[in-house]
Structure 1
């Protein structure tokens, strides 16, 4: 076993922690939205803020760090999948820092003022944005696994076309998620 393989393992492990932790939180929020339970939704979105510094930021930072080590060791700087993956990671950081964090702070302020229903509006928007962010992370995973080069137009169109359609369906929908029905 070589150093490259060790860092590739650490990269994948950190990515699993980042994606898996967020996926569970996102599922909890979607279930709260479907149940129409504003208080549960706000508990979940509130915990997203505290977990951001404790879990998501370190896990995503380690994913990036170990990935950069792999790129250096493998001399992969010109590869399409590396460059596009880095752009995707930067986009995820921007979404989290400049959109989700301020929305979470505003929701927390509204909760402190006793305005749960208004805070839930922010919570619902946050979850929709987080859903698109997770779709973009899935696109990054597809890039890392498929490793398309600049001439693999079909693979790139499929990856980014699926991301675009997903974003349109999530953000373009004004309807609240429908409640789950026990049958």
Structure 2
């Protein structure tokens, strides 16, 4: 296995954990909300706030880092799909850090009170 294949594997694993973890939390919160389980909904919100900096931010950074390393090995940064990917990453990272995290923190504080 060459270096490019190893970096690509790590890129895919970190992206799967990042996106899959967020999707799983969203499904859990939706199921709890539809069932009328307020405690389950609050637990999902609390988990989102706690995992934001500990799990989702590092996984997103690793995804970016491995993607950049992969681009430096192979296609460079001039391909359109690479630029679209970087714009998508910047958008989701900013929404997560500046919208979802503060909202989850405020809700966690309200739950604690």
Q: TM-score, normalized by length of structure 1?
A: 0.59
Give, in whole Å, the separation in 2 of the partners of 1:36 and 1:76. 50
Q: Secondary structure at the match of 1:75?
A: coil
Normalized per residue, the structure richer in helix is 2
Give the equivalent residue in structure 1 for 2:29: 29
Instruction: After TM superposition, give the deviation of residue 73 of structure 1 in Å.
Output: 0.9
Q: CA deviation at 1:111?
A: 1.4
Matched ranges for 1:3-82 at <5 A: 3-82=3-82
Does the CA contact (< 8 Å) of 2:15 and 2:59 recur in 1?
Answer: yes
Q: Cα distance, 1:53 vs. partner? A: 2.0
CA–CA distance in structure 2, aligned partners of residues 49 and 5 of structure 1: 34
- The residue number in structure 2 matching 1:83 is 83
- The answer for unaligned runs of 5 or more in structure 2 is none
The residue number in structure 1 matching 2:92 is: 92
Aligned length: 113
- Higher Cα radius of gyration: 1
The answer to whether the 8 A contact 2:8-2:66 is kept is: yes
Cα deviation code 1:58-103 (max 9, x no counterpart): 1111111000000111132011111011110110011111111111
| Structure 1 gaps, min length 5 | 114-183
Higher relative contact order (CA 8 A, sep 6+): 2
